[in-house]
């Protein structure tokens, strides 16, 4: 893999295809932050970015547990990291996938949100007595930019029977939830923990694991969440107030927060039509979220001589023949941008490359390591705050 300092040096070579820029140092920094500051175990949610290089980087930086959601992800991580702990946290799984995960790959932790799934797990593992079973609760996504409140999770009236049944089948019983993607306030976890408390009290069961799922946010235009340490503090206090086993473990499943800053994308402008830019990646490539959920990523014109023109809002069209290959934005760029210019689109380490297809023959270009900083960072700010001298004077 080639190495450059930044996108500018790479643009000088005039690449024809989009180029993925990866920053291993940013992933290492994010991993160390969670390892050192979150008061429990952090499971990387592989779905956010299944890059083998990223997975190895996170492992080397202290992430030893991985949230896998399919048998393909189980095989991937098991093959890369035989000593990693894998947790199969998709609540609806094929029975064959459960059996392979358990007997071939050593997976012992499974999530579920129904009696049917519990029975499936018991059958597939042949009544194993070493399972950690995490019952997923349905909680609101009121504070999240992307809701995850409708597809999975046992509703309040269903949790008692399910927790009691899972307790009988489990060596260790867990409760898990997901507050939605890009939770903009720590209140999301406080609200969800109240559902956990109610479920535990109602079922009167001993709980060994509380898994607060994902949802930890990154920084994007128009989205400036509270510092991650504020989320960690709320979760820790709520966890310690629960009626749970004295030895109970606290888990989380960060995805976006561990990998968003890892990658960006260098694209070329192929045409300008007013305030519309035709670029060489789009909705069927790394910009799925920009097209389909209106996500606004940070952008920067990459030109040898910086533009002095004022910024204006642009929308993007991707390279395919499909009208829905459209990213409305607005993306703020200098008004003199033109065909042949290059744009860096930041914070695409989460879900960008993971969503890429080969539709219409447009595929990914090369991947290049860069050593500059990401276009936004929750961790650089936190480090700066920690290093800032206090105003306390000692005599």
Q: How far apart are the first and last CA of the chain?
A: 54
Residue found by looking up tokens 């992430």 in the block = 63
> What is the pLDDT, as a whole number, of residue 134?
98
Asked whether the beta carbons of 260 and 337 are under 8 A apart, the reply is no
Q: What are the backbone dihedrals phi and psi of residue 238, each rounded to the nearest 5 degrees, phi first?
A: -65, -40
The runs of H, that is alpha helices, within the chain are 7-11, 24-37, 52-60, 71-80, 95-105, 115-124, 159-169, 187-203, 228-240, 256-259, 288-292, 378-387
d(C-alpha 305, C-alpha 240), whole Å: 55
- Going from the C-alpha of 184 to that of each of 216, 220, 233, 265, 267, the distances in angstroms are 8, 11, 15, 25, 29
From the list 217, 215, 220, the residue with the least C-alpha distance to 296 is 220
> What is the pLDDT, as a whole number, of residue 332?
97
User: Which tokens sit at 375?
Assistant: 């276009």
Give Cβ neighbours of residue 119 (< 8 Å, ≥ 6 apart).
Answer: none
Give 80-100 pLDDT, tens digit per residue.
999 999 999 999 999 999 999
d(C-alpha 238, C-alpha 241), whole Å: 5
Strands 144-146 and 326-334: unpaired
User: What is the three-state SS of 237-256?
Assistant: HHHHCCCCCCCCEEEECCCH
Asked whether the beta carbons of 207 and 200 are under 8 A apart, the reply is yes
User: Which tokens sit at 66?
Assistant: 């991985």
> What is the pLDDT, as a whole number, of residue 3?
76
**Exposed/middle/buried for residue 361 (C-beta within 10 Å: 0-12, 13-18, 19+):** exposed
d(C-alpha 12, C-alpha 192), whole Å: 49
Q: Report DSSP state, residue 390.
A: P
> What is the pLDDT, as a whole number, of residue 36?
97
Q: Domains in the chain and their CATH numbers?
A: 3-21+262-380 (2.40.37.10), 24-259 (3.20.20.10)
Q: pLDDT (tens digit, 0 to 9) for every residue of the chain, 395 residues total?
A: 577 788 888 888 899 999 999 999 999 999 999 999 999 999 999 999 999 999 999 999 999 999 999 999 999 999 999 999 999 999 999 999 999 999 999 999 999 999 999 999 999 999 999 999 999 999 988 888 888 778 888 999 999 999 999 999 999 999 999 999 999 999 999 999 999 999 999 999 999 999 999 999 999 999 999 999 999 999 999 999 999 988 999 999 999 999 999 999 999 999 999 999 999 999 999 999 999 989 999 999 999 998 999 999 999 999 999 999 999 999 999 999 999 999 999 999 999 988 888 889 888 889 999 999 999 999 987 665 555 444 443 33
> What is the pLDDT, as a whole number, of residue 386?
56
> What is the pLDDT, as a whole number, of residue 5?
85
> What is the pLDDT, as a whole number, of residue 10?
86
């Amino acid at each position: 893999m080639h190495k450059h300092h930044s996108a500018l040096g790479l643009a000088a070579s005039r690449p024809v295809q989009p180029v993925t820029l990866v920053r291993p140092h940013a992933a290492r920094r994010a991993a160390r932050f969670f390892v050192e500051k979150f008061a429990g175990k952090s499971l990387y949610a592989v779905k956010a970015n299944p890059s083998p290089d990223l997975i190895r980087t996170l492992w080397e930086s202290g992430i030893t547990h991985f949230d896998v959601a399919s048998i393909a992800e189980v095989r991937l991580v098991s093959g890369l990291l035989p000593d990693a702990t894998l947790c199969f946290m998709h609540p609806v799984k094929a029975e064959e996938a459960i059996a392979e995960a358990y007997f071939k790959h050593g997976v012992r932790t499974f999530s579920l949100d129904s009696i049917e799934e519990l029975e499936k797990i018991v059958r597939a593992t042949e009544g194993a007595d070493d399972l950690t079973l995490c019952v997923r609760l349905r909680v609101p996504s009121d504070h999240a930019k992307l809701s995850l409140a409708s597809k999975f999770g046992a509703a309040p009236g269903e949790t008692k029977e399910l927790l009691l049944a899972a307790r009988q089948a489990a060596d260790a019983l867990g409760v898990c939830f997901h507050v939605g993607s890009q939770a903009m306030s720590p209140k999301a976890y406080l609200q969800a923990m109240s559902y956990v408390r109610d479920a535990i009290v109602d079922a009167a069961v001993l709980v060994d694991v509380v898994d607060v799922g994902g949802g930890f946010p990154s920084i994007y235009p128009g989205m400036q969440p509270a510092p991650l340490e504020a989320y960690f503090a709320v979760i820790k206090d709520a966890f310690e107030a629960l009626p749970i086993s004295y030895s109970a473990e606290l888990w989380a499943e960060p995805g976006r927060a561990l990998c968003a800053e890892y990658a960006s994308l260098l694209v070329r402008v192929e045409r300008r039509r007013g305030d519309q830019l035709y670029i060489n990646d789009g909705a069927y490539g790394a910009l799925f979220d920009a097209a389909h959920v209106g996500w606004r990523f940070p952008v920067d014109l990459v030109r040898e001589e910086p533009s002095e023109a004022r910024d204006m809002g642009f929308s993007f069209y991707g390279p395919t023949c499909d009208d829905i290959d459209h990213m409305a934005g607005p993306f703020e760029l200098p008004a003199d941008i033109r065909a042949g210019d290059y744009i860096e689109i930041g914070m695409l380490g989460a879900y960008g490359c993971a969503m890429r297809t080969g539709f219409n023959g447009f595929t990914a270009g090369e991947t290049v390591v860069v050593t500059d900083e990401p276009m936004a960072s929750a961790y650089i700010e936190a480090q700066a705050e920690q290093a800032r001298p206090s105003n306390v004077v000692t005599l």
